[in-house]
Amino acid sequence: MSQKSESEALSLTRGRGRSRMVDCPHCGEEVLWQSVPFGSVRGASSPIINDVEQGPQTDMGHGGLPCLQPGSMPAALYTLTAMSLGIGVFLLPGLVPSVGIVPAILVLIVFALATDFLCERSLEAAEIAGVSTYESLVEAAFGVWGTRLLALGMTLSLMFANAGHLSTAVQMLKDIIEWFFTGEMGKWEREGVAWYKNTFLFVLLLAFVMPFCFRPTLGSLAHISSITVGTVVVTAITMVFEALVRVIRGGSHSVLGTPDAAPAFVGGTAIFQFMSVAAIVYCAQLCLFPVLHELKGRSVPRMRRALRMASAGCCTVYCSVALMGSLAWGKKADANIIYSVPMNDYWVDLLGFLLIICLTLLYPIINYPLVNAVQTVLSTERFLTFGGRDHSREVLSIFFAIAVVVIVSCVPDLDDIFSLCGSLGQGLVCWIMPSVSYLRLATGRPWFAPSKLITVLLLLVGLSLTGFGSTLTIMHIVQQGRGG
C-alpha cells in the first residue's frame, strides 16, 4: 500500500460533526476541528458537499512536496499517485510467471480503470448523501455499522501493510549484512536463520520506531512519505532500465527462449494472489476526499482528471516493471525483484539501504491512522486513561507491534502478507464498500444504467477478492506451516 500518507487516511477514522480543539498530527499546532456548513451548488467548480468537515485530516500541505502549491492540480496528482506507489510494485514480476504475462498486464490495466471508476462513484454518492468524508459516506449507506466495518477494513489493511513493510526491511537488511561480511547473498535464506535471530532484527527495528508511535504528532516524519515515494520511483525506473538492457543483450543475461521464461498464459487460482497484490498498488480511494477538500474550488471535474492521470501514471509504472522484470528474469525472478540483481552492482546496495530506512520509518506513519481507527470504534479513552492522561496510543501501538511480530513470524512468505493486505483490507475498503455505498445511495438511477451494472460487476470482483482470495492465501499459509 502506498507509502504516501497513510496518515492522510485520518479522514476515515475521526469524528463526525464535532467541534473541538485538537493537535494537528503533522505540525503539532492546536487547530479547531469543526463542521462548517456549505451550500451545495452544482457546477464545474462548486463543492459537492453540504457539510465540509474541516480539521487536520483535510490538510494536505504538510506531507506533500514543498515545491507544489497546496490545492493545485500538480499537488493533487502527486498525492493520488504517491498514495499508491509503494514496495508492492517490486512484488509484481515475481508473481507474473504463475499467472502469465498477458493476464497479469490485463489485471493491472483493468484494476487501474476499476479504481478510477469506483472513486468517481464515491464522489457521486457523496454528492447525493451530502457528506464530505469517506467515513460519513459509508455511515450514510450502512449506518453506524458502516463506520465500524470501515475501521475494521482499515485496521486489517494497515496492520498487514506494516507487517509487509517491516518484513521487507528485515529481509533486505539481512541480505546486505550477509553480502557485506561474506561476499555472498541468499545462503542464509537457503540454509535458514534461527527464529530468534529474525525476531531480534524485528524487535530492533521496532525499538527504533516505537518512540515515534507514542508521539501525539507526526511532525518529525512529515517528509518520509515523499522520500520513500522518490526512492521507489527511482528504483523502479532503474529496475526497468536494468531489465531492458538484459533483454537487449540476450544470451545468458536474459531467460528469453529458455524453459525459465515467463509463459504468456497460465490457468489456475494463482490469479487471485496476483489480484490481491494488485489491489494494494491502487488505493487512491484512501485519500480521495482529503485531496478533494484541498483542491482549489473543490472542482469535481478537475478531481476526475487528476484521478485519471494518477491511475494512468501508476498503471504505466506497474506494467513496465511487471513486463520487463518477467521478460528479463522470468521464473528466476525473486519474490522481491530487487534481489534478482547481483549485490555487486553497488546501486542496488545504495537503493536497498535507502528503502530499508524509509520502510522502517513508514511504520509510525502507518501506525497513526491504524491506532486512530481502533480508538474511534472502541472509544479507548474510557478505559485506558490513567492519572488524568489517555494512554491508549501507547497501549495500542505496543499491541500492534506485537501483532506485527506474530504475523511476520507465522507468515514467512512476503507475497502472502501483502496478499492478505490486499484481499482482506483493500478489497473491503476500496472495492466492496464504495460499490455498495453507491448502489444504496444512487436510488435515482435505474438498475439497468451502465454505471450501476458496472458497479455490480466490480462488487462481485471485490467479493471474490476478499472471500476467495483471502481463503486461498490462508490455505497456502497453513500448507506452508505443515511443511507442504
Quick one: cell of 35? Answer: 463542521
> 433-441 and 450-464 helices cross at what angle (nearest 10)?
150
Nearest to 284 by CA among 52, 89, 63, 9: 9
pLDDT at residue 252, as a whole number: 62
Q: How far apart are CA 277 and CA 416, in angstroms?
A: 9
| Burial class of residue 190, CB neighbours in 10 A (0-12, 13-18, 19+) | exposed
In sequence order, the 6+-apart residues with CB closer than 8 A to the CB of 329 are 93, 243, 246, 255, 337, 340
Nearest to 7 by CA among 310, 363, 307: 363
State how beta strands 389-390 and 51-54 pair. Answer: unpaired
pLDDT at residue 53, as a whole number: 39
pTM (two decimals) = 0.82
DSSP bridge partners of 30? 23
C-alpha angle 334-337-338 in degrees, rounded to nearest 5: 115
Quick one: cell of 436? Answer: 455498495
Across the 484 residues of the chain, what is the mean pLDDT of every consecutive 10-residue run? 44 39 45 35 30 34 62 88 88 92 96 96 94 91 88 91 92 82 69 74 90 78 79 91 88 73 86 90 90 87 93 95 92 85 75 88 89 78 73 90 91 89 91 95 89 96 92 88 63
Q: How far apart are CA 350 and CA 347, in angstroms?
A: 5
| Burial class of residue 241, CB neighbours in 10 A (0-12, 13-18, 19+) | exposed
pLDDT at residue 220, as a whole number: 64
CB 284 within 8 A of CB 310: yes
- State the alpha helices, DSSP H only, in 250-299: 270-280, 288-294
Backbone angles phi, psi at 385, to 5 degrees: -105, 120
